[in-house]
Structure 1
């Protein structure tokens, strides 16, 4: 299991993310840290789900630019 410090180091965005750019976010609650399974945008001082526009109701502790997804065996021809 990754430690809080390791996870935070992976989400290396500093300050506010670039406007109109979907990013990956790391959240934290009483159980620990976790990455949201959807991209988010920072809009008017609030984190929002990139797809739905809904406000993220979690404590965001870090962000990063999207990482390229590796191709799974099921996706290969």
Structure 2
């Protein structure tokens, strides 16, 4: 299992992403860290699902530009 520090290092976005730029986000709760399975945007101080526009109701602790396979 990946350590919290290693996961945070993989989500190396600095500051906030460009408005409406779709990115991958890392969230954290009492169980640990996890990547959301959908792209997100940071708009008007809120994280939102880039596909549906729904607000992300999780604590985002990191972001990165999408990785290509």
SS at match of 2:56: coil
Once the 2 structures are TM-superposed, how far is the Cα of residue 19 of structure 1 from its aligned partner? 1.3
Residue matched to 2:26: 26
**How many residues in Structure 1 have an aligned counterpart in Structure 2?**
69
- State the superposition RMSD in angstroms: 0.5
Once the 2 structures are TM-superposed, how far is the Cα of residue 12 of structure 1 from its aligned partner? 0.1
SS at match of 1:25: strand
Once the 2 structures are TM-superposed, how far is the Cα of residue 64 of structure 1 from its aligned partner? 0.1
Q: Return 5+ residue gaps in structure 1 as ranges.
A: 70-77
Q: Return 5+ residue gaps in structure 2 as ranges.
A: none
Residue matched to 1:46: 46
Residues 1-77 of structure 1: matches in 2 within 5 Å?
1-69=1-69
Which structure's CA Rg is the greater one?
Answer: 1
Once the 2 structures are TM-superposed, how far is the Cα of residue 18 of structure 1 from its aligned partner? 1.1
Deviating 4+ runs (over 6 angstroms): none
TM-score, normalization by structure 2: 0.98
